[in-house]
Each structure stands twice: as C-alpha cells, then as structure tokens.
Amino acid sequence: MDKPVPRRVTIVDVARHAQVSTTAVSKVLRNAYGASPAMRSKVQQAIAELGYRPSAAARGLRGQTYTIGVMLPELRNLFFADILDGITAQLGDSDYQVLLAPGCNGEKAEARVIDAMMDRSMDGLVLIAPVSAKSRLNEVARSVPTVVVGRHGASPAYDTVTDDDIAGAALVVEHLAGLGHRRIAHIEHHETDRVRLAEMPNAQRARGYRDAMILHGLEAEIDIASTSYTQTGGYLGAQQLLARPVRPTAIFAGADVVALGALEAIAEAGLSVPGDISVAGYDNSALAAFGPISLTSVDQDGRQMGIDAARLLVERITDRERRTAQVKLSPTLVVRRTTAAADAED
Amino acid sequence: MDKPVPRRVTIVDVARHAQVSTTAVSKVLRNAYGASPAMRSKVQQAIAELGYRPSAAARGLRGQTYTIGVMLPELRNLFFADILDGITAQLGDSDYQVLLAPGCNGEKAEARVIDAMMDRSMDGLVLIAPVSAKSRLNEVARSVPTVVVGRHGASPAYDTVTDDDIAGAALVVEHLAGLGHRRIAHIEHHETDRVRLAEMPNAQRARGYRDAMILHGLEAEIDIASTSYTQTGGYLGAQQLLARPVRPTAIFAGADVVALGALEAIAEAGLSVPGDISVAGYDNSALAAFGPISLTSVDQDGRQMGIDAARLLVERITDRERRTAQVKLSPTLVVRRTTAAADAED
DNA sequence: ATGAAAGCGCTAACAG
DNA sequence: CTGTTAGCGCTTTCAT
C-alpha cells in the first residue's frame, strides 16, 4: 500500500530483463554502432515493457544531455516567438529537447542564464540577440556549441543567423520615398557600446536608414530620435519628432513595438495615420498584422531564422571543427495601412 | 597554444586548493550543516579563485538539480508571460533556475514535455493550464513536486493556483447589465472532455456567465457561441452572434484574444464598438491595455499567481508531506473603451 | 558483435 | 566539525 515511489527503472533493469549487458542497452539508446538487429529489438521491447526512460543527469555526466538551451531577451516579443517556433520545428523529431530561460534583459542576467545552461551540460546553445561582450560569447562558444541569432559580426567560434537589417531599413526608406515622402524620420535604439554599435540590429537599421536617405538624395532630411526599442521609447521618440519646427511626414520605427508607441503619441497629438503622417515598423510581428493596427513593417521571417539556427547548431554539435557560418536572410516589406502617399503640398 | 578545453574545474580541485575534503566543499555549496565559518570562507575563496561551478548533472545524480521546470501551452499568450514573471520574481534570489519548455499544445506535446522535465530530474514543476488527464497529473505530482496553475480541481498530490473564473465572468455580466444591456452573449471555448469541463477556466467562465445572467433575470437572453480561445475563434464566434435574428448588444469574450477576433468581425460587419455593440475580454493582457484597442477586461493578476505558485512549489520541495493547498485569487474588472451604455431603444 | 569494468562529479552515510 | 568511502545511472574504453 505504501510504495508510491517504486524506484526509477534503470539501464540495469532493462539489461537484466532483456538478458543482455548494460553496454548493449546503452548502444541501442544512442543508436550506436555495434548492436545486432536481434539485440536491438530485444532491448527495445524490454524498454517498452518496463517503461524505461534514461536519466538525463546520468547521461550528462559522461555524454550528452540531449538538451538545447535557448536564451532570449524578452518573451513578449512576438518576433522571438517566431524564431522559437522555427527552432522547435526543426528539432521536433530529433532527440533534442529545447529548454529556454525566461526573458533575461541585460548583460548580468545573460551571464547568469548562460552559466546556468552550461552548468546543466547542455549540448548546444542558441543565443538570441545577446548583449554580452563579444569576448564572452566567444569564450562560451568555445566550450559549448553555440549559434547566435540576431547579432551581426562573424566569430571564429560560433555561427550566426541574422536578418539583413541594412537592406530592411532601405526597403522602408525606398517605399516611403516612392510615396513622395521627403521628411522621413527614424526612431532608433540608443546604443553606447562600441562593439554593439556595429553588431546590434538596431545600429544596422539606423545605418541602413542613413545610407538609403543619402542614396535618395535626402541627406538633408535625415532626422533621428534616439530612444529605445520599447513601446515607451516609440512614444517618446514620436513626441520628440512631432515637436520639430517642421514635422516629419513619415516615421520609420526600428521595431514594431516602437511603432505602436509612436502611433499612440501621434493619436494623442490629434494627428491621423496615414493621413497626416505615415508610420512603418520592423519585425512584422503578429501585432503589425492585427487588423485594427495594420502596420506596414519589415518581415524578417523569424521562423526561418530559427530553422537555420537549429540546423547550424546540430551540425556544429556533430562536427565541432567545422568552420563557422554566417547566414544572412533577406527581409521583405509588408505594406499595410499605416503608410500612404505624402500630401502634394509637403 | 592548443588547450582550448582546460577540463572543467571539479569539486576535487576546489578541495585540494582549499586543503579540505570534498565533503566540506559540498557542504559549503549546499549551505549544509556542519562547516565552520573558517572552512566556509576558505572554500568560498577557493571557489572564487578557480572559477568553480558545480555540475548540475552530477548533482542531479544524487541530490537536487536546482532546476524548476515550467510548462505552458503558448508563449504568445501575454497572460502566461505575466505568470512567468511572477515565478521568476519569486525565485529570483533563490538557487533555483527556471527553465521552460516552448509552448506545447495538446495532451501529446504535454506528455512529452513533462517526461523531458522528469528525465532531467527537475526539482519541481509548474504546469500552467495543462490539459492532460487528471490521473496523469496526479501521477506526475507523486513523483515530483508540482503546482498546477489555471486549472480548477483540488488534488491530493499537487497544489493549485487559480483565478476565480466564475466571479470574473459575473463581474463582466454585472458591468454590462449595469450599463443597461440585456442581450449579452458569450463566446466560449468548446469543451468535450468531462473532467476538463469542470476543471478548465473556460468552462468556469461559461458557467459564471450563465449563473450571473440568471441572477440578473436575463435567463432568456443567454446566448453562447461555442468556438475556441483563439483570435479566429473570436472572429467566427462573433460572426455567428451577429447573424442572429436579433443581434446581441454586448459580447463577453472568454479571453482577450477572443475579444480581438470579435472586434475584427464587428468592424467587418460595419458596426462600431462600443456604439453598436460592447465587447469585454478576459485576462487584461497588455493587448487589452494597448491604447488603440483599450479593451474592457477581467484582470487575473497573473504575476501574483506566479508568485504564489513559486512559493507553494518551494514549500512542497521542502516538505513533500505537507497537505496540498488551493489558492484562488479574486479577479477585478478593468473598464476601458469597448463597453458603454446600451441604446435606450434596445 | 558483445560484455566487464572503470569512471564522470557530486552527495550522503558513516567514522573519527 | 571534518574526512573517507560508496555509490547515483549512464557512457566508454578495452578485452573477448
């Protein structure tokens, strides 16, 4: 009556039940070389009969843990959720289990999470938009197979998967310029760190914006509000821009959430979108697609990024000596109802 | 030049460096009884100097893994993110690391994830809105400390944290009836399973709706569209309701996403909110609070639910014999711009 | 192709 | 209070 904890079934039990050695069972578990079909089926039957499940802790002590860790800065960001979908889709039928840490913002939280994952002997890591120092990332990648998503800059130690943010920003400027806009402003995420200045998507988007403005002969119209990639950042940034002596006729927000904040500020100012001012975002998150918002946005195909990241990671786990790869995906522009032709008078 | 993998620092290295036994080190690591302050500091210094980090795999083989697993059906649901915030806030300074599985919908995916977490010897599990059979949940909880969030029904094996969904639904009906509405319809999540019919929040909300309608003498006006708790479900449900010979003047959607879908259908039908029809949701997610949407919604305080869940879980890890508890939190109604007084003529 | 045996890094009895 | 020692469940040489 009182044996509610009937001791875990171990590899020894399976071996005994199947009348083979534990080595044999281990081989079957790992699909390793050196087990005859006959033995294989005998063992598999025993496993099924006993309901055996290997202990990841014990496996991890010697071999793999069959666990992939994913770190991302923010769970609420729908774009990150898309990346995750891609990762899990790609890893769905493999033996790997994906586990993620709850949103961790900032270098300190990142360090904690990465340590935690390494402590748990994870077989591979996917780091989404990490802000840690590059030296730290390299160090991590040297000790565990790692793929970095959403941060530019090649590394000898880890693979990268990014969106071509410069091209994405150019798409927006091109679109708006094509609609007759000249005073196209940008809300960027303020960045101080040198390396991040070059590697983070936000910096690349701002650069793409500048380049494209120059390319369209709008160099004199370049106008950037420097806040942060948050809804509040968008709100404040738009307020700044709307207070200009001559108001911009279009705002390119560096992210969809930023655009949402901008939309709020614009509405509060009594202006209409796209009548008085056009707004475009970046990420094409579900929020952008949502009917009442219907935001023109750059689509990064986060799902594909996740698929590529998972693929690269498994490849690297298999062959740790392979040279690192940099996958850069081309974004597309999804035009919706927040952008329209500029008034002729403007 | 070529020793990029300098072998992990182990407890043995620390012991040697501090000139004590491994037991001593282990005790310090676990804050266990039986280590003098002098030894404690000696060991801590050695740990710092060597940059030692305990291997979770090795610990898990004997003792705890200091890992809490969280399972949730859907990452994109902002309410779940709130719960998670609460969990991490509560566990923030503890030694426990929270890891979660990417959204797993359906009984099969749930089983996989729960198994994966048990295989990894996690110290405790938080299951958010699980759909698995109750017998399965009990079985899981018997082998690992578990807290179930967002599913009613007490268990002898696990603690529960829920919202008082019946009261929440009543708040909405009361609010709408107070505004003069009589034809208040409801969009529910269709449920077939017997047990879930009683234990899932959606069923409780539908029941709360019925009860409250009767209480307000509106029994004859009860009108339920049975779809699902998704945006599409809301869209289709609203379409059904709008096609009635006599249209409802208010719709109580069982969740915010459902309300969003309903808003889309209403807009498509050329009706205005709240002019022609009032809409209320449930969850008070960030989406509901978002300006342009501004949805009247029931607030569950997901963060508090997470805090309670984490607290209960740690308590149960400490004392597995303690009797199970059921925490039920009272919801509040947040009135925004999607609900207004009914037309006098209606 | 198969199995015996030696650990992986840690914790938990138990002795001192 | 401190140290010795025996495993935890698995993988991995290395014989056979």
Cis peptide bond N-terminal to A274, omega within 30: yes
Which structure tokens are listed for B4?
A: 């990029």
What separation in angstroms does the CA of A131 have from each of A72, A110, A169, A191, A328?
10, 8, 21, 11, 19
Q: Check if the beta carbon of residue B267 is closer than 8 Å to that of residue B253.
A: no
Q: Which of A260, A303, A300 is nearest to A280 (CA)?
A: A260
> For testing the chain B interface, which of A68, A119, A121, A232 should be mutated: the one with the most B CBs within 10 Å?
A119
* Residue A226 contacts B where some CB pair is shorter than 8 Å: no
Residue A121, classed as helix, strand or coil, is: coil
Inside any domain, residue B127: yes
Question: Residue B193 — φ and ψ, nearest 5°?
Answer: -60, 135
Tens of pLDDT, residues A183-196: 999 999 998 777 67
If asked whether residues A114 and A77 sit together in one domain, one would say yes
Which structure tokens are listed for B132?
A: 């698995």
Which alpha helices (DSSP H) does B216-292 contain, by range? 231-242, 256-268, 286-289
C13 C1' to B22 CA distance, Å? 14
CATH code of the domain covering residue B238: 3.40.50.2300
Inside any domain, residue B233: yes
Residue B239: give the domain boundaries.
Answer: 165-300
Q: Check if the beta carbon of residue A216 is closer than 8 Å to that of residue A177.
A: yes
Averages of pLDDT over each 10 residues, chain B, 346 residues:
61 91 90 86 91 92 93 88 94 93 89 95 96 94 96 96 97 97 96 78 95 97 94 95 96 95 94 95 88 91 96 94 95 97 71
If asked whether residues A218 and A237 sit together in one domain, one would say yes
Can you give the pLDDT at residue B287? 81
Amino acid at A259: A
Inside any domain, residue A151: yes
> For testing the chain A interface, which of B61, B85, B94, B97 should be mutated: the one with the most A CBs within 10 Å?
B97
Can you give the pLDDT at residue A197? 75
Given a cut of 80, whether residue A21 has pLDDT beyond it is yes
Tens of pLDDT, residues B237-261: 999 999 999 999 999 999 998 999 9
If asked whether residues A244 and A319 sit together in one domain, one would say no
What DSSP assignment string belongs to A38-104?
Answer: HHHHHHHHHHHHHT----HHHHHHHS---EEEEE-S-TT-HHHHHHHHHHHHHHTTSS-EEEE----
Can you give the pLDDT at residue A344? 62
> A304: pLDDT confidence band, cut at 50, 70 and 90?
very high
Can you give the pLDDT at residue B45? 92
Q: Which of A101, A121, A142 sits opposite B99 (nearest CB)?
A: A101
Inside any domain, residue B188: yes
What's the CA gap between A168 and B58, in Å, rounded? 47
If asked whether residues B241 and B288 sit together in one domain, one would say yes
C5 C1' to A12 CA distance, Å? 14
b/e B241-259 (16+ beta carbons within 10 angstroms → b): bbeeeebbbbbbbbbbbbb
> A59: pLDDT confidence band, cut at 50, 70 and 90?
very high
Inside any domain, residue A35: yes
What's the CA gap between B296 and B306, in Å, rounded? 23
Tens of pLDDT, residues B266-301: 999 999 999 999 999 999 987 888 877 899 999 999
What's the CA gap between A250 and A179, in Å, rounded? 10
If asked whether residues B205 and B149 sit together in one domain, one would say no
> A111: pLDDT confidence band, cut at 50, 70 and 90?
very high
Given a cut of 70, whether residue A56 has pLDDT beyond it is yes
Residue window 161-200, chain B: list those with CB within 8 Å of chain A. Answer: none
If asked whether residues B254 and B323 sit together in one domain, one would say no
Using the 8-state DSSP alphabet, how is residue A269 labeled? T
* Residue A115 contacts B where some CB pair is shorter than 8 Å: yes
Q: How distant is the Cα of B340 from the closest Cα of chain A, in angstroms? A: 20
Given a cut of 80, whether residue A182 has pLDDT beyond it is yes
Which residues make Cβ contacts (< 8 Å) with residue B44, sequence separation at least 6?
A: B28
Q: Which of B79, B130, B78 is nearest to B101 (CA)?
A: B130
CATH code of the domain covering residue B36: 1.10.260.40
What's the CA gap between B312 and B317, in Å, rounded? 9
* Residue A60 contacts B where some CB pair is shorter than 8 Å: yes
Q: How distant is the Cα of B142 from the closest Cα of chain A, in angstroms? A: 7
Inside any domain, residue A60: no
CB neighbours of residue A290 within 10 Å: 19
Can you give the pLDDT at residue B2? 39
Amino acid at A287: L
* E strands present in chain A: 67-71, 97-100, 124-128, 146-149, 159-163, 184-189, 223-227, 250-253, 278-283, 296-299, 326-329, 332-334
- To which residue do tokens 């019946």 refer? B166
What's the CA gap between A149 and A166, in Å, rounded? 16
If asked whether residues A157 and A181 sit together in one domain, one would say no
Q: How distant is the Cα of B139 from the closest Cα of chain A, in angstroms? A: 9
Using the 8-state DSSP alphabet, how is residue A1 labeled? -
If asked whether residues A275 and A176 sit together in one domain, one would say yes
Contacts of A263 in chain B (CB under 8 A): 291-292
Answer yes or no: is B31 CB < 7 A from strand D.
no
What separation in angstroms does the CA of A299 have from each of A85, A168, B261?
16, 8, 23
What DSSP assignment string belongs to B39-104?
Answer: HHHHHHHHHHHHT----HHHHHHHS---EEEEE-S-TT-HHHHHHHHHHHHHHTTSS-EEEE----
Q: Which of A201, A179, A176 is nearest to A188 (CA)?
A: A201
What separation in angstroms does the CA of B288 have from each of B31, B209, B259?
45, 20, 9
Q: Which of A272, A266, A241 is nearest to A337 (CA)?
A: A272
> A3: pLDDT confidence band, cut at 50, 70 and 90?
very low
Q: If residue A196 lies in a helix (H) or strand (E), which one and from where to where?
A: helix A194-199
If asked whether residues B182 and B231 sit together in one domain, one would say yes
Q: How far is CA A112 from the centre of its chain?
A: 19
Inside any domain, residue A102: yes
What's the CA gap between A206 and A165, in Å, rounded? 9
Which structure tokens are listed for B104?
A: 């797993």
Cα(first)–Cα(last) distance of chain A, in Å?
84
Contacts of B58 in chain A (CB under 8 A): 57, 61
* Residue B143 contacts A where some CB pair is shorter than 8 Å: yes
Contacts of A67 in chain B (CB under 8 A): 120
If asked whether residues B134 and B213 sit together in one domain, one would say no
Across all residues in chain A, what is the average pLDDT? 92
If asked whether residues A266 and A192 sit together in one domain, one would say yes
Inside any domain, residue B346: no
Question: Residue A53 — φ and ψ, nearest 5°?
Answer: -135, 125
What's the CA gap between A286 and B230, in Å, rounded? 13
Average pLDDT (A98-111) is: 91
The tally of domains found in chain A comes to: 3
User: Helices B106-119 and B134-143 sit at what angle, rounded to 10 degrees?
Assistant: 10
If asked whether residues B151 and B236 sit together in one domain, one would say no
Can you give the pLDDT at residue A293? 87
